[in-house]
Amino acid sequence: MTFEPHTRDGDVIVAAKSGPLSGEVVVPGAKNSVLKLMAATLLADGQYVLTNVPVIEDVAIMADLLTAVGLQIEVQPARVGEVGQHLVIRNTGAITPVAPFELADRIRASVNLVGPLLGRFGHIDIALPGGDDFGGRPIDMHLRGLEAMGAQFDITSEGIVGHCAELRGAEIEFDFPSVGATENILMAAVVANGETTIRNAAREPEIVDLCTMLRAMGCRIQGIGTAILVITGVAAASLQAVTHEVVTDRVQAATYIAAVGMCGGSIRVQRANASHMGMMLTRFTDMGMRFDIDDDGITATAPEQLTAVNVSTLPYPGVATDYKPLVVAMLSLASGVGIVTENLYPGRFRYVEELRKLGADITIDGHHAVVRGVGHLHGASVIAPDIRAGATLVVAGLAASGITEVSDVFHIDRGYDDLVGRLAGLGASISRISGSPS
């Protein structure tokens, strides 16, 4: 089936000065988890049910991609009392490990088909992954790890063709704890012959979520949540399909926290998992925010005035690069000067030009952004350059005087489930104007 996009060309989000915010927002499941969980269903036959699935474009694209290789996918609405939709995924074993280029090239997570398809079928033919443009986003660590397990690749400027007679366990040490490479090696290793050790593995909560589902399927993984994963391969035929709830999206949770930080007020961020956001919450606290944390979520209260801090992005448990545009926007309204250092994607500063249109004072020096608090932003027409920066511009627009119009909303739709409705539910003055049907 083809999943209906809900983005129309020319859609615009219109934000007006808002605040103080109040009320409750319920945070849905994480994009960067569900896309990998969907890929994992390639590993074993049977019927899977993923719950707490966010209604976002990247899920629709991944569903189309997996349908094209042979899975059967049905979307079911959330049950009473639940947040996200259900995905019912049926794997009959009739898989063709050739992914249509035009779909694979639209999302970064398409690269996560490489590990499971090679592991189970010994072949993969797929486009180089797309996704947000932060400058170069190589996949050398994915390929080197799989080569160490016995795979061979032909890479062209467009795509990857990989094959192997058999994948065997290997000792793999990453130069850097790459999220995608960890996931790919993991999903190949669970069905490889023998034991694989991944050193300097990424430890993000979304990787723990993937490991938890794989383990429920019968995969043998030790060291979950640590930098050393030890995986003992088992026969794919011994694995079983499962029902799994997607972990809460920590970046969407942080987006609502940043919104209240910038607009003032106090909100309940239901289902936010504070233990997955530790360093970020510490930095927000340093900026003057207050948090009451319990098992079901976080109550976030803004100070009268935010205070500038310095923030560096790092792999988990550090402050994630995906939070960074939000932090830069908050610092624009803080008292003092804050320096934000990007350690993952040197090119991830494209939104700065757009924030400047709102009156922000930001200077880029290499991989540092020097942000001088200006105390006041004003509305403007801006363009969303990617998912997180797009959401940041919407939130900054709520804190700006006058009207802010954010275009290229399709970026936001790739990763945010009803951002406009959720912000409106907190009392924000926000609406979406539909463009023409695409």
* Position 313 contacts ligand EPU (CB under 6 A): no
Q: How far is it, in rounded angstroms, from Cα 217 to Cα 112?
A: 18
The minimum distance between CB 375 and ligand EPU, in angstroms, equals 29
Residue 302 structure tokens: 């803004």
* Position 233 contacts ligand EPU (CB under 6 A): no
The minimum distance between CB 14 and ligand EPU, in angstroms, equals 23
* Position 178 contacts ligand EPU (CB under 6 A): yes
Q: In terms of CB distance, is 142 or 276 closer to ligand EPU? A: 142
Q: Which of 11, 57, 132, 249 binds ligand EPU (CB under 6 A)?
A: 132
* Position 138 contacts ligand EPU (CB under 6 A): yes
Q: In terms of CB distance, is 11 or 209 closer to ligand EPU? A: 209
Among the listed ranges 79-87, 89-97, 133-141, 264-272, the one in contact with ligand EPU (CB under 6 A) is 133-141
* Position 345 contacts ligand EPU (CB under 6 A): yes
Q: Which of 37, 53, 113, 139 binds ligand EPU (CB under 6 A)?
A: 139
The minimum distance between CB 37 and ligand EPU, in angstroms, equals 11
Q: Which of 124, 127, 344, 380 binds ligand EPU (CB under 6 A)?
A: 344
Q: Which of 142, 203, 422, 432 binds ligand EPU (CB under 6 A)?
A: 142
Is 209 among the residues known to form the active site? no
Among the options 58, 132, 249, 408, which is catalytic? 132
User: Which positions from 262 through 301 interact with ligand EPU, judged by CB under 6 A?
Assistant: none
- Give me the 34-53 binding string for ligand EPU, x by CB under 6 A, dash otherwise: -x------------------
Among the listed ranges 120-128, 172-180, 284-292, 360-368, the one in contact with ligand EPU (CB under 6 A) is 172-180
* Position 180 contacts ligand EPU (CB under 6 A): yes
Q: What is the 3-state secondary structure (H, E, C) of the chain?
A: CCCCCCCCCCCEEEEECCCCEEEEEECCECHHHHHHHHHHCCCCCEEEEEEEECCCHHHHHHHHHHHHHCCEEEEECCCCCCCCEEEEEEECCCCCCECCHHHHCCCHHHHHHHHHHHHHHCEEEEECCCCCCCCCCCCHHHHHHHHHCCCEEEECCCEEEEECCCCECCEEECCCCCHHHHHHHHHHHCCCECEEEEECCCCCHHHHHHHHHHHHHCCEEECCCCCEEEEECCCHHHCCCCEEECCECHHHHHHHHHHHHHHCEEEEEECCCHHHCHHHHHHHHHCCCEEEEECCEEEEECCCCCECCCEEECCCCCECHHHHHHHHHHHHCCECEEEEECCCCCCCCCCHHHHHHCCCEEEEECCEEEEECCCCCECCEEECCCHHHHHHHHHHHHHCECEEEEECCHHHHHHCCCHHHHHHHCCCEEEEECCCCC
Q: How many residues bind ligand EPU (CB under 6 A)?
A: 26
The minimum distance between CB 268 and ligand EPU, in angstroms, equals 24
Among the listed ranges 12-20, 315-323, 332-340, 375-383, the one in contact with ligand EPU (CB under 6 A) is 315-323
Q: Applying CB under 6 A, which residues contact ligand EPU? A: 31-32, 35, 108-109, 132, 137-142, 176, 178-181, 202, 320-322, 344-345, 387-388, 415
Q: Which residues are catalytic?
A: 132
